[in-house]
A and B are shown apart, each in its own frame.
Chain A
Amino acid sequence: MLRSLTAGIVLAFAGSRANVARTILSCAGIVVGVGALIMVVTASDFGQRFATAYSEANAGRPATLQVSVFGQITDRAAFEEDLVRAGGQDVSVYHTPSGAPQIRSGGSVVPDVQFLGVDPSLGDIRRMNMAEGRWLTEADTGSLAPVMVVNQPLADALGDLTQVQVGTDQWLDVRVVGVLESSALDLGWYSAYLLRSPASEDLLFGSSSDTGGEEGDPFAMPGSQTTYQVRIDPQDPAAQDPWGEVFTGRLASASWRWGIEDPESISAYRADYAEEVDRIIDYMSWGLMGIAVITLATGLLGVLNVGLVTVRERRRELATYRALGASRSTLFVAVVMEAVVVSLVAGVIALAGCWAAVVAGGMVLERFVPLPDGVPLNIPASGVLVGLGSAALVGLLAGIIPATRALRASVVAGLRE
């Protein structure tokens, strides 16, 4: 049996090499179909990785909720404690200063900067790819100067990061401890992440007298909005609720502890959207994959047709093989393997073409949009497997009928031709 298989494969390779024109003609349909499949898998994989990276960098890792309270929170510590009790694993304030601070380095002010007051735990909630330095730590909260991380475009605009100052009425020296990598994920906005600490309280929340709240409580802002980002366990039932009603329900039961009487003042929603985008990409991929499979099926019919015609034309050759000692199983394997070899050759050609297209596409894309870490544009292993696997499967299917016919042919009649 093994000898039959080996001999069949050797004869198949020799047959494919000897009939180059037939091989190439049979390939054409498969190349298009397999190429389409590989490109769909590649685009889908790239889209999903990009969506995941984008979502994790801008909205949070899976199961991140954005929780807002409209009204005056009287006890921030109790509120944060309840966020953890309600299921929060990582909790970070997520506050846009109302005072519209400005930023400068060496005298030149950079306009239109988006400031966000955050905690170090935001680094666990979101994907933070550092180009330089590091993300904020708990130790930074003890710093006498405000501590911040800026993104690459802002760092480039500022120039010297050792002389950065921030202020509204007066300028304060700040320590820039890290620069976030510039990528397609931040779309070039100037962003500054200011660590919530005693040194930055005034900058972020203004003086307590300005806010009109309780003394020393920066969150006591009448009519203001308090926002946090909270990452919960993805298996938590609250994570399955995109509108956050489960989570707000948990918070509402204890809202009296932090001075909120109207439960409607609490809102939450699922901030990360990678799963949603993945789902949409999946639907699109299945649709495109269907088209690719139809193309591949057309290619299969081409190989099948060529196989049937050649088996008819090759009766004498196949009979000669039998006369020389080829068993039926050897001949069956040889004919099937010829179709598989043809299809695999087509698969390899399609793969090479797709690879060239992806490399060229990646080079063009890189000129316009810097791709983030972990999101390179390349053909994934699954694309290679799907491409070559489908090519082999098509060859197998296209080879079986001609092989069965080859077995039925009379050896004696074949030798007379």
Chain B
Amino acid sequence: MSVDTAAPGAATSRPGSAPLLDVREVTRHFTVSGTRIDVLHDCTFQVERGEVVAIVGQSGSGKSTLLNLLGLLDRPSGGTYTFDGVDTTRLGEGPRSRLRGEGVGFVFQQFHLLERRTALANVGVPMVLGGVPLLRRRARARALLEAVGLEHRLHSQPHQLSGGEQQRVALARALSREPALILADEPTGALDAASSTMIMEQLLEQARIRDAAVVVVTHDPKVAARADRVVELVEGRTR
């Protein structure tokens, strides 16, 4: 089945240009009950288009905080973060949401699928937010679910799916707007070994097809081993 997979506003690959992600001396601290807690210290690294980067580190090292910053869900306390040539630290709330919707696809450890919605509807949500017309949205969602091997589960709701299937729906949803960056937070953390292998293979395969960069936060050495590069976080500092 041939389906137009180009989403409106999707980030386009520009080989040879600036890195997709440019993180420079980023810091993040929180104030809890009057006490300042420094979570990230002067983190600096880049991610190229199509590159697969694993972020590893012990619990509490700041991996999730860094991922939230990269996904434009949070703002750094200091430093600069440039996404696809755009300095995100100066962006207002609306443009950040737009950039996040168009440029970033999320795969969460707990899947975060919308309950009581079918797989097809879940994959369609980012496209609803992107203003993709209904028929085109349905066709793309169907094609993406077929691409991750869920053509027989189109109308199943999350509670009717296994963990591996739910994560594949989440992957299809992350790809629905052809993002330049896929952020995966412990994508195999809630899955068994067989499902983990399948998810990682599909994640990397789909990212490769679309020339999308992947930043994956993981504890799993097997997952980290499949990355092009590993960024280690130790007490909030990149190595």
* A and B together in one complex: yes
A residues near B (Cβ < 8 Å) are 3, 6-7, 10-11, 14, 18-19, 316-317, 320-330, 411-412, 415
Q: Are B112 and A412 in contact (CB under 8 A)?
A: no
- How many of B's residues come within 8 Å of A, CB to CB? 27
Q: How far is the CA of A316 from the CA of B116 in the complex (A)?
A: 14
Q: Are B116 and A323 in contact (CB under 8 A)?
A: no
Distance in Å from the Cβ of B102 to the closest Cβ of chain A?
A: 7
Partner of A320, one of B112, B121, B128, B130: B112
19 contacts between A and B (CB under 8 A): A11-B125, A14-B121, A19-B116, A316-B112, A317-B115, A322-B97, A324-B101, A324-B106, A324-B126, A325-B98, A325-B100, A325-B129, A326-B101, A326-B129, A327-B98, A329-B94, A412-B68, A412-B73, A415-B108
Distance in Å from the Cβ of B79 to the closest Cβ of chain A?
A: 18
| CB neighbours of B128 from chain A (8 A) | 7, 10-11, 14
| CB neighbours of A321 from chain B (8 A) | 125, 129
Distance in Å from the Cβ of A404 to the closest Cβ of chain B?
A: 15
Contact status of A324 and B116, CB under 8 A, knowing A411-B73, A415-B73, A415-B108: no
B residues near A (Cβ < 8 Å) are 68, 71, 73-74, 93-94, 97-98, 100-102, 106, 108, 112, 114-117, 121, 125-126, 128-131, 173, 177
- Interface residue SS majority, chain A: helix
Q: Are B97 and A326 in contact (CB under 8 A)?
A: yes
Across chains A and B, which 5 residue pairs bring their CB atoms closest together, nearest first? A325-B101, A327-B97, A18-B116, A3-B131, A320-B112
| CB neighbours of B130 from chain A (8 A) | 3, 325
| CB neighbours of A320 from chain B (8 A) | 112, 114
Q: How far is the CA of A3 from the CA of B129 in the complex (A)?
A: 7
Q: Are B173 and A324 in contact (CB under 8 A)?
A: yes
| CB neighbours of B71 from chain A (8 A) | 323
In the complex, besides A325-B101, A415-B108, 12 extra interface pairs with C-beta distance below 8 angstroms are A6-B131, A7-B128, A18-B117, A316-B112, A323-B100, A324-B173, A325-B97, A325-B177, A328-B94, A411-B73, A412-B73, A415-B112
Q: How far is the CA of A298 from the CA of B170 in the complex (A)?
A: 41
Q: How far is the CA of A411 from the CA of B68 in the complex (A)?
A: 10
Q: Are B129 and A324 in contact (CB under 8 A)?
A: yes
Distance in Å from the Cβ of A412 to the closest Cβ of chain B?
A: 5
Distance in Å from the Cβ of A187 to the closest Cβ of chain B?
A: 60
| CB neighbours of B93 from chain A (8 A) | 327-328
Q: Are B129 and A323 in contact (CB under 8 A)?
A: no
Q: Are A14 and B102 in contact (CB under 8 A)?
A: no
Distance in Å from the Cβ of A164 to the closest Cβ of chain B?
A: 72
Contact status of A330 and B112, CB under 8 A, knowing A324-B106, A325-B102: no
Q: Are A327 and B116 in contact (CB under 8 A)?
A: no
| CB neighbours of B126 from chain A (8 A) | 324-325
Q: How far is the CA of A328 from the CA of B100 in the complex (A)?
A: 13
| CB neighbours of A324 from chain B (8 A) | 101, 106, 125-126, 129, 173
